[in-house]
Each structure stands twice: as structure tokens, then as C-alpha cells.
Structure 1
Amino acid sequence: MKENKIYPYLKTKPEIDDTVFLAPGVKIVGDVKIKAGSSIWYNTVIRGDVNHIRIGENTNVQDLSMLHVTFEKYPLIIGNDVTIGHSVTLHGCILEDRTFIGMGATILDGAVIESNSMVAAGALVKQGYIVPSGKLVAGVPAKIIRDLTIDEINNIADSAKRYKKYAELTLKSLKVTDDL
């Protein structure tokens, strides 16, 4: 099993709650704080080198995602109960509580994804764009498609709960083996 790499940057070390699940291959650098119950999945990179990154409680960042910041201008702030799909790029943006970011989406500097909103897979959210609460955005560049249904909004919180359970199960079963 690959070890996770947690690196200080200058004199700042990442602060990761003891309950956070880190899958093998994760790299975390610098001024990064990750709160309780969150999970960071295989080969994700979280670079808080030139600004800070904050990840709230019960948030999941799925495989191969890239999280970064902009020097002196845009930190990366992620709220509670957020689901970030596979291969997402987040750069100096804000994701409020209970947001869902689809696989392969890119969210650029200064963008804000308000609570109970969804960014579709493959979408590009431009610099400074604000996704209002309760909306679905899609496309390149991302545009508002429609209001989310109550079921879709409820599924955002449910997704975060499911990933917390997946992390617990994976932690119990993940073992190094040469028997393939």
C-alpha cells in the first residue's frame, strides 16, 4: 500500500482530525485543515502552499481530485457535508455546506457554490461565478440549468453520509497483500 504523504510548507503543517480517512496515495501540503468525519480518496492532491485550504466536517474528496489556491488572493474553503466527485479540480473557490460537485468538474478562482447546489459532471465554473443556492449548473462555461428538486437537495446530504460509511468500511478492510 502506498503511504500518504503529509508535507509542511515553510513552517506550516497540515492539521488533520484523527477521524479523517486518507486513502493510499493522498498528498497533502502546507496550510490545510481537515475536520472530523471527512474522507480523502486515492491519489488526491491538496496543495495549501501559497494560501490556505479548509475542509469541513463529513466532506468527501474523491479519487484523483486536485485542490489548490492562489497566492495572496484566493484560499480554498469547503464546507460541511460536501461531495466532490472523481477527478475534480478546485482552485481558490468556496463550496458552501451541502454542495455536490460532479466528476471531472473544474471550479476556478473566486467562484462560490452556495449551499444545496450542484455542479454537473464536466462543468467549468468560471472565475468569480456564483452558483445560487438550490440550483444545478452545467456546461462549459457553466450556466444555471434549473432549480434542484427537494429529493435532489436531500440526496446531497445523503451522499456525504454514504461516503462517511464507505470510508469506515474501507478502513476496516484495506490491507496490504502480495497475494494477487
Structure 2
Amino acid sequence: MFYSFKGFIPVVHPSSFVHPQATVTGNVVIGRNCYIGPGAALRGDWGGIVLEDGCNVQENCTIHMFPGITVLLKEGAHIGHGAVVHGAQIGRNCLVGMNSVLMDNVELGDECIVGAMSFVKEGTRVPARSLLAGNPAKIIKEVSDDMIAWKTSGTALYQALPAEMQQYWQPCEPLTALPANRPQQELLYTTWQQIKKEKGQS
């Protein structure tokens, strides 16, 4: 659902997909090939929200801010299920893990990874390529090339998903039994652990 607020109407590039059960309000700009999942709330009432190209905001995420702040998700930012981004700036090709919370004036440098269920305190400045985890979140180590390759490949699936949703997604009634000709799903995703195994790393 889309709602205007004080004259601000959300802007969404036609290549992106916003699930009808997501709520996008006011001063929100969504770039190309973005995916917004059901239950997500992007509330641009007190400030702005800008998603650059290729971002995804998954199910039940919340993006909001204190008055006068613009939340920026740079190109390829990946916000995992249930995460909260409140007044933060997310760098290019970052991953925010599931159910994490990023507070006001947090700045993630490019290609950071925030572990699931982490809490990043207000005003935290995080250098590029940092891996954070915990409550409060702390930098554990530098993000490796393998880790960023894993993240980038996962995000690429979400960047392709809007076009697939536009082509194939439609409301339906559930079946009462499995049909004999039910299609098989292909394995499309290579995990970080598989990448390491192929390279002979432990």
C-alpha cells in the first residue's frame, strides 16, 4: 500500500517490486530493481528514505527516522527479514542481518556485514568492510573477499526477483492436495560455505 503525506507521494521505479502488503508512506524514493517484501514499513513522514538501485528490504522490516533525517540505503544494500533501520545510513553492498537494529546516525561503510540480531548503537561509525555482531554490536573482523562474494551473490537473487515477481506473481487460492505435475525448484544459490569448500578453505 502507498500513502501520500503532507504532499509527498512515494516514487518507485517501474523495474522494482513493492509487495501490496508492504506499507510505503510519504517521502520515499525507491530506485531500480529493488524488492520490498510483505510486512515491510517504509515511513517517510518525519524525514526521507532513499533506496538506491538494487536494494532489498525483506519481510517485516521497518525503516523510519527522527525529524529532519534522511535514511539512505546505497546501491545493493540488503536488509534481512525483520530488521529495523532507524535514521541510519547503509553503505554500498552492505548486509544487515535478520532482526538486527541500527539506531539513529549510524553510518555503515561500504561492504559491511551486520550479524543477525545485532544492535548497533546510536551514532556508531563503521569503517568499510567491517563484520559486526552482538548487543551492543562490535567489529569482529574485516569482511573477506569470500564473504563479500557470498553476500553479493545472495543480493543478486533479490535484484532479479522484482522482474520475476512482475512476471509470475499473482494472488491464488491454495490447492487441497499436491498435484502429480508439481514443478521442481532448482537450486540457484551458492552458500558462503560452498564457496570456501570449492577453494579448499576450512
TM-score (norm 2): 0.83
Runs of 4+ in 1 over 3 A off after TM superposition: none
CA distances 1:50-91 after superposition (whole Å, capped 9, x unpaired): 00110010011111100001112x321110011110000000
Q: Aligned residues, how many? A: 175
Given candidates 22, 47, 66, the residue that maps to 1:26 is: 22
Matched with 1:86 is 81
The answer to which of 149-158 and 90-99 deviates more is 149-158
Matched with 1:173 is 168
CA distances 1:96-146 after superposition (whole Å, capped 9, x unpaired): 111000000000000011101100000000000012111100000000011
Structure 1 position 45 matched with structure 2 position 35: no
Structure 1 position 122 matched with structure 2 position 99: no
Matched with 2:158 is 163
Contact map agreement 2:73 2:92 (CA 8 A) in 1: yes
Structure 1 position 68 matched with structure 2 position 64: yes
Distance across 1 between alignment mates of 2:165 and 2:31: 19
Matched with 1:131 is 126
Matched with 2:198 is none
Give 5+ residue unaligned stretches, structure 1. none
Matched with 2:108 is 113
Q: Percent identity?
A: 25
Contact map agreement 2:86 2:103 (CA 8 A) in 1: yes
Say what the alpha-carbon RMSD is for the aligned residues. 1.2
Matched with 2:9 is 13
Contact map agreement 1:82 1:157 (CA 8 A) in 2: no
Give 5+ residue unaligned stretches, structure 2. 176-202
Distance across 1 between alignment mates of 2:80 and 2:109: 17
Given candidates 133, 137, 140, the residue that maps to 1:145 is: 140
The answer to which of 159-168 and 19-28 deviates more is 159-168
**Structure possessing the higher radius of gyration over alpha carbons:** 2
Code of the aligned partner of 1:45 = A
Q: How far off is 1:179 after superposition?
A: 4.3
TM-score (norm 1): 0.93
Q: How far off is 1:17 after superposition?
A: 0.7
